[in-house]
């Protein structure tokens, strides 16, 4: 599988950005300019999202992580850092124990080792397969942004809603099934790279307490709580997010 991707910047060090369920690589627009000033940035669409092909039925988080490694192999990348939000964070955790020393630093944003229940994701997949993304769009977007921010940034919110509803229903549903199967709690202790954990203080998808479980489970990790922020904290609190992420990534140089 060849994942649709985009490369920005020409730094010596490489950072992969991996987004949420129902997003494309454009989810990271608030990060690209600032991060690409220091790093070579690789953004990609999850399988079945944007312009990437569908994942196989029965795909797992490990399969999605292997797809990222195949992408990086094709780009000739040996070592890299990885920042993933929500589904992207699930991919990042799986990647951290499969990258064979290639991963330098990890950032896990608004994610957990297990998100919701298998029943939740099975119901979501069935709804989308039957009716498309439009019936769930308002509910999902309301969880992505706090109401106060959404009222002020209504044009931005409309853009992210359009991104969501343009997602191919079958691609969205199959990634729902990946999330329904994923339970990475047992591997947290095997993650050995320095890790920054982000949480949004008003995120209804992954609570601060759930994010704190990652900090407790991953040996070399630190939790940053962004406020006020819901699930797409990288968008809502982009300035604080970018500064914290750059500080985390730059610490590798100082080590």
pLDDT in tens, 43-99: 999 999 999 999 989 999 999 999 999 999 999 999 999 999 999 999 999 999 999
Alpha-carbon distance of 117 to 104, in angstroms, equals 31
Count Cβ neighbours within 10 Å for each residue of 203-219 and write b for 16 or more, e otherwise: bebbbeebbebbbebbe
Is pTM beyond 0.95? Reply is yes
Sign of the C-alpha dihedral computed for residues 205, 209, 213 and 216 taken in this order: positive
CATH topology of domain 5-254: Rossmann fold (3.40.50)
Q: In the beta sheet, which residues pair with residue 6?
A: 43
Which residue numbers in the chain have pLDDT < 50?
253-255
Task: Please give the Cα distance from 2 to 227 (Å, whole number).
Answer: 37
């Amino acid at each position: 599988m060849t994942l649709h991707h985009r490369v920005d910047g020409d730094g010596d060090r490489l950072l992969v950005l991996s987004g949420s369920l129902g997003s494309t690589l454009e989810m990271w627009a608030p990060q690209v300019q600032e991060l690409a000033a220091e790093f070579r940035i690789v953004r990609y669409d999850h399988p079945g999202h944007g312009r990437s092909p569908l994942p196989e039925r029965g795909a797992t988080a490990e399969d999605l992580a292997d797809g990222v490694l195949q992408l990086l192999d094709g780009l000739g990348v040996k070592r890299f850092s990885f920042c993933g939000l929500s589904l992207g964070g699930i991919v990042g955790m799986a990647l951290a124990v499969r990258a064979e020393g290639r991963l330098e630093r990890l950032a896990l944003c608004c994610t957990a080792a297990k998100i919701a229940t298998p029943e939740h994701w099975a119901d979501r997949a069935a709804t989308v397969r039957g009716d498309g993304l439009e019936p769930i769009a308002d509910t999902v977007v309301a969880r992505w942004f706090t109401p106060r921010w959404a009222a002020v940034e209504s044009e931005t919110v409309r853009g992210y809603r359009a991104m969501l509803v343009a997602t191919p229903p079958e691609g969205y549903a199959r990634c729902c099934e990946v999330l329904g199967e994923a339970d990475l709690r047992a591997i947290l202790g095997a993650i050995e790279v320095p890790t920054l954990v982000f949480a949004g203080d008003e995120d209804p998808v992954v609570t601060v307490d759930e994010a704190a479980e990652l900090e407790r489970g991953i040996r070399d990790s630190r939790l940053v709580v962004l406020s006020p922020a819901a699930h797409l904290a990288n968008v809502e609190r982009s300035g604080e997010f970018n500064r914290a992420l750059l500080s985390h990534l730059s610490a590798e140089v100082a080590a």
